[in-house]
């Protein structure tokens, strides 16, 4: 059976992810993201941003992409060494936990007109996007927190930009072991990205289990119908004196059903 972790989100989010509304994971609605980000801001490790380069923050595009004002122009910055699910990809569309990741990054940077970038060896990728490690004004690593809270995977590891790959892999391993966020659904994360079909299959399985349980609860047919040696039809309710010792010839789901079948209630 596929494993799905049910917790509150301390995070990942927006139940805006329509295909995951039945999942209550650490990150699945706005209120939970608010709580998570508040906790992160209070408890996260802080780095000395004086060592990094300061830029004006333009906008948040995705969980792992922002825009900054760079040399007078608005430019995309792709977060080094991580990958979050998509929110509006031209071919992949919206992926589960994509909105959560975007909201997390957006709230972590909320109220800030500046952002701090740490570049590795190479400044740009083949698409000419800037590549960097991103920090808030008070020194929180956005990449680290996305990984810690199960909203990103370690990916796109290309030399020479590998400065923090070991640290990031360690954070990812902890999130995997805790089965939070993207790691709460088995087989959703792959070495190629995110498998939406695996997520939907897990959602369907979970929904089916819930339906089965609801049906069973709604149809607890535990009234025992017994015919005694005199030929009298007697029904016994759970909790009555002889209920456990009664051998049922028939089982009924309601008193009405038992009485319509000609059974009368046991005297005790």
Q: Which listed residue (19, 75, 94, 129) is catalytic?
A: 129
Exposure string over 230-255, b if 16+ CB within 10 A, otherwise e: eeebbbbeeeeeeeeebeeebebeee
Among 86, 100, 103, 118, the active-site one is 86
Residue 133 backbone class (left: φ over 0; alpha: ψ -120 to 50; beta: rest): beta
Range list of β-strands (E), the chain: 53-62, 65-70, 73-79, 82-83, 114-118, 130-135, 153-154, 189-190, 193-194, 223-227, 233-236, 250-252, 264-265
| DSSP string computed for 187-206 | TSEETTEE-HHHHHHHHHHH
- 129 annotated active-site: yes
Least Cα distance to 79 among 103, 96, 60 occurs for 60
Q: Answer whether 30's CB lies under 8 Å from 37's CB.
A: no
Collapsing DSSP states into helix, strand and coil, what is residue 55?
strand
Give the catalytic positions in this structure: 78, 86, 129
């Amino acid at each position: 059976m596929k494993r799905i972790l049910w917790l509150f989100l301390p995070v990942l989010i927006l139940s805006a992810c329509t295909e995951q509304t039945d999942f209550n994971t650490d990150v699945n609605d706005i209120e939970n993201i608010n709580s998570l980000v508040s906790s992160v801001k209070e408890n996260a490790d802080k780095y000395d941003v004086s060592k990094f380069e300061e830029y004006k923050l333009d906008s948040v595009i995705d969980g792992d992409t922002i825009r900054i004002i760079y040399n007078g122009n608005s430019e995309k910055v792709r977060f080094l060494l991580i990958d979050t699910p998509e929110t509006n990809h031209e071919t992949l569309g919206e992926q589960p936990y994509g909105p959560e990741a975007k909201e997390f990054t957006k709230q972590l940077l909320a109220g800030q007109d500046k952002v701090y970038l740490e570049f590795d060896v190479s400044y740009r990728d083949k698409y000419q996007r800037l590549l960097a490690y991103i920090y808030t004004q008070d020194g929180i690593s956005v990449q680290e927190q996305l990984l810690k809270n199960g909203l990103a995977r370690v990916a796109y590891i290309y030399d020479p930009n590998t400065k923090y790959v070991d640290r990031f892999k360690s954070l990812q391993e902890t999130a995997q072991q805790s089965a939070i966020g993207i790691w709460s659904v088995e087989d959703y994360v792959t070495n190629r990205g995110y498998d939406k079909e695996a997520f939907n299959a897990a959602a369907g399985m979970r929904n089916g289990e819930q339906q089965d349980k609801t049906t069973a609860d709604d149809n607890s047919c535990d009234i025992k119908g017994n015919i005694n040696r005199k030929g009298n039809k007697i029904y016994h309710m759970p909790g009555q004196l002889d209920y456990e010792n009664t051998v049922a010839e028939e089982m009924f789901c309601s008193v009405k059903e038992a009485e319509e079948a000609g059974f009368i209630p046991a005297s005790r």
